[in-house]
Amino acid sequence: MLRDVLFVPQFKLNLLSVSSLTTGTNLSLNFFHDQFIIQEASSRKMIGKGSIIQGLYVLDTKDFNSVSDAFIGSVSAHVWHNRLGHLSFKRLDVLKDHLPYDTEMSNKHLPCYICPLAKQRRLSFESHNHLSNQPFDLIHCDIWGPYHVTSHFGYRYFMTLVDDHFRFTWLYMLKQKSDAVGAVHRFFNLVATQFRAVIKSFRSDNAGELSFKDFFSEKGVIHQFSCVERPQQNSVVERKHQHLLNVARALFFQSRVPIKFWSECVLTAAYLINRTLAPILHHKTPFEVLHGRKANYSCMRVFGCLGFASTLNAYRTKFQPRARMCVFLGYPSGIKGFKLLDVSSKQIFIPRDVVFHEDIFPFHTIRSNDKVLDPFLIWFYPHLHYLFHMICMWIVIPLLLQFISQVHNPFLNILSQIYLMPPLVIDPVESLDLHHI
């Protein structure tokens, strides 16, 4: 849906601004000497076209209405709920004006069976609700792990760094706890290069085991220690950890990916939390406050869903598949795109073109022994409940009522007679009232 449209009653034509069409949307336009096309940028699906008439590009509105659901249609609140890591519908309601497509909120009261499994109740202590005056005045740090399952890339820990002013979260995956020292060095370099800022204070409870001391004294950074037994002293990062794990669990239960992909769940959770409105930031997102621009939601998809990535022409013969069947595993760091797992080769890659099916989750049908099922079964499995519903409606219930009708219970007999009643057929000859002729 187009926003900020001006209506001029006397105007005979509708003019469309190309920059308005592409700003904040997931659309790209290609102009040729005789025509132009509008595509959904991520899937390259054509959603509109037009031709040149007397030097002007004219949109073909007939085709446009029929092919475009990305442009004029809406994405349901439940799809956004899933895309955003099971964000509460109350917060989704506030966020909906930031989303690129119209959000259909009418079905928001449908139950979600993932949320109760994933969300832990809040910590008993409150996080401090005032922000540092300046960016990077104070960084909160904590390390989570070791997790008993080593991740796909060999990680067992992750380090969370939260800026007290922006409440933006940076996550570093660690193979061992001592890797945290190198990660902190890299973080200081990142802040200096990307934001031209210096970190003044650093709060953590891991000082004893990690040799930050020399590095901080060299940089002139004040190291604030928090007591391990009193997590409320480091409440900002403790709360952030709980939030990260709540969202990561929701992504894990929703996708049913093998547990070795826990690191992908946590990284995606951090990505989503940075793009979620925070009441403490006056209902802005940490991303918006840090970068000074709104996050791009058009590239978001449901974690763990099915995707078909196009194969390159150079690597395929006439009868080889045109796409690879994949599972969506989040967003690559520093690159615009999607991180996909090829279900056959188990390779993780970042494709150029991909088409998603956000209601199909391949790992719901791939068993723990990693046996890959037929693509048709992966597609068919989510539709099984429709088949079950039809069998119940047309076979099981009529048989049950037929049986009940044998029992002498007046109420049940009436019920079964109504259900089993043949359709009313009116004979056109008999239905005529002959007495009036």
With respect to Zn ion, which residue has the nearer C-beta, 86 or 165? Answer: 86
Determine if 77 is a binding residue for Zn ion (CB under 5 A). no
The answer to whether the beta carbons of residues 143 and 180 sit under 8 Å apart is yes
Classify burial at 255, counting beta carbons within 10 Å of its beta carbon; exposed 0-12, middle 13-18, buried 19 or more.
buried
The answer to whether the beta carbons of residues 247 and 86 sit under 8 Å apart is yes
From the list 113-121, 203-211, 213-221, 262-270, the region that binds Zn ion by CB under 5 A is 113-121
Shortest Å distance, C-beta 254 to Zn ion: 8
Determine if 114 is a binding residue for Zn ion (CB under 5 A). yes
Classify burial at 311, counting beta carbons within 10 Å of its beta carbon; exposed 0-12, middle 13-18, buried 19 or more.
middle
Chain-centroid distance, C-alpha 182? 31
Structure-token match 């940076």, residue found? 170
From the list 27-35, 84-92, 267-275, 367-375, the region that binds Zn ion by CB under 5 A is 84-92
**Percent helix / strand / coil, the chain, rounded to 5:** 35, 20, 45
Shortest Å distance, C-beta 110 to Zn ion: 10
The footprint of Zn ion on residues 231-260 (CB under 5 A) is: none
Chain-centroid distance, C-alpha 316? 31
Determine if 86 is a binding residue for Zn ion (CB under 5 A). yes
With respect to Zn ion, which residue has the nearer C-beta, 47 or 114? Answer: 114
From the list 80-88, 94-102, 290-298, 372-380, the region that binds Zn ion by CB under 5 A is 80-88
Determine if 115 is a binding residue for Zn ion (CB under 5 A). yes
From the list 86-94, 196-204, 231-239, 259-267, the region that binds Zn ion by CB under 5 A is 86-94
With respect to Zn ion, which residue has the nearer C-beta, 115 or 192? Answer: 115
Counting every residue written for the chain, the total comes to: 437
Shortest Å distance, C-beta 80 to Zn ion: 11
Size, binding site for Zn ion by CB under 5 A: 4
Listing DSSP states for 98-115 in one string gives: GSSSEEEGGGTTS--SSH
With respect to Zn ion, which residue has the nearer C-beta, 70 or 77? Answer: 77
Which one of 46, 112, 207, 280 is in contact with Zn ion (CB under 5 A)? 112
Read off the tokens for 216.
């901080």
Contacts of residue 238, Cβ cutoff 8 Å, sequence gap at least 6? 123, 127, 142, 231, 232
Where does this chain bind Zn ion (CB under 5 A)? 86, 112, 114-115
